[in-house]
Copies of this chain bind each other. A is one copy, B any other.
């Protein structure tokens, strides 16, 4: 192979992931050169705070003038700053300068990916972001390139390690939400301010990115229905266990009718036999159903410096190869222009835990409330406790709005003393 001139790389943002990327670029330099067809040359690392100690990064590479670094027109800019601004501004500057961009910034891509994609298209450069969803798990490339000849029907994903860790501890150790969150924080799995994770916002960003790739249509975080896990109790966890279920925070994207999708994040019960049920602790996994391929699952570490760096380096080799052969990878594919429907149009089934009066006719009255809305009941389990009975009901799949109507009707029945739990159930019926 004739000696290629080096590919000039700039990194902006040098936290955990950034320093791992730099470390791997050094330790794997020879391999990366052979795989790309040219050596990599790190020309600078843009940071906010120059005074901070950054072991493993040569001092003369560091700069806090990110704009000047980008104006050196690197071949590739790797953005690892996170948040919307100034990351967006810098990515656009890089793209407009003709640099290809690799980003792990799920918040920005889910908020305003369109602006970045359009700029990349116009400047004829690559925009890759495998690391933005599910860390090291190859997921975006399989959706973008492997399943691209198929018709994706539904995606069910565990894409937030923090909440999966918390739910695992609640399930396996009987811990409360608060105590499980505390141990997640102690282990560094959860931030001091855990809002973005436990409220489902992080998962919602990833759901938007996955849905956009799977359904070839533009999806932003504003299109995603989102519920967190803060109200999950040990009572819910125990009820799930008794029925052979486990509670997971799921990112769900599904085609509900021709060219119409729903994208949602919420806790759901899934059967213990479902491949996603055994995804424990901080691991991530994404289950994909496609018309021809059937059921697929991708499993691995969804966060952490090294796993995320692995995804960044995969993109770096891909972008590098493209630069060497002066071409671009596949761009954004949003031709489908699908309608994005609200959660009311989702197809799901419900688990309900009701406290009802233990008297004749109650079950008939309650069943009628379901029948009126056209919701079919799958199983009922009744346990009598003195004057009240506990009624555990699982419905068949129905439109979410019908289930919501049932719920509101049940609240008005005098026989229904209290609604102790309501949760969506996923993965239990063939779609």
Contacts and interface: CB of A to CB of B under 8 A. Distances in A.
Contacts of A293: 135-136, 300-301, 306-307, 310-311
B148 A142 contact: no
Interface in A14-36: 20, 24, 28, 31-32, 34-35
Most buried by B among A135, A138, A312, A316: A138
A293 B307 CA distance: 4
Interface string A146-164: 1111110000000000000
Contacts of A147: 138, 310, 314
A149 B316 contact: yes
A422 interface: no
Contacts of A313: 148-150, 292
A143 to B, nearest CB: 8
Nearest to A326: B327
Contacts of A309: 292
Interface stretch (A56-64, A197-205, A317-325): A317-325
Given A278-B275, A299-B275, A146 B292 contact: no
B28 A310 contact: no
A28 B310 CA distance: 34
Contact of A35 (B216, B292, B306): B216
A333 interface: yes
Interface string A274-308: 01001000000000001111111111110010110
Q: How many protomers of this protein does the assembly include?
A: 2
A141 B136 CA distance: 14
A236 interface: no
A138 B142 contact: yes
A29 to B, nearest CB: 11
A403 interface: no
B290 A310 contact: yes
Contacts of A148: 35, 313-314, 317-318
A294 B307 contact: yes
A145 interface: yes
B292 A20 contact: yes
A171 interface: no
Contacts of A316: 149
20 contacts: A24-B149, A34-B333, A34-B335, A34-B336, A136-B293, A136-B296, A137-B296, A141-B141, A141-B146, A142-B146, A150-B313, A278-B278, A291-B306, A292-B306, A292-B313, A293-B306, A296-B299, A297-B299, A299-B299, A321-B330
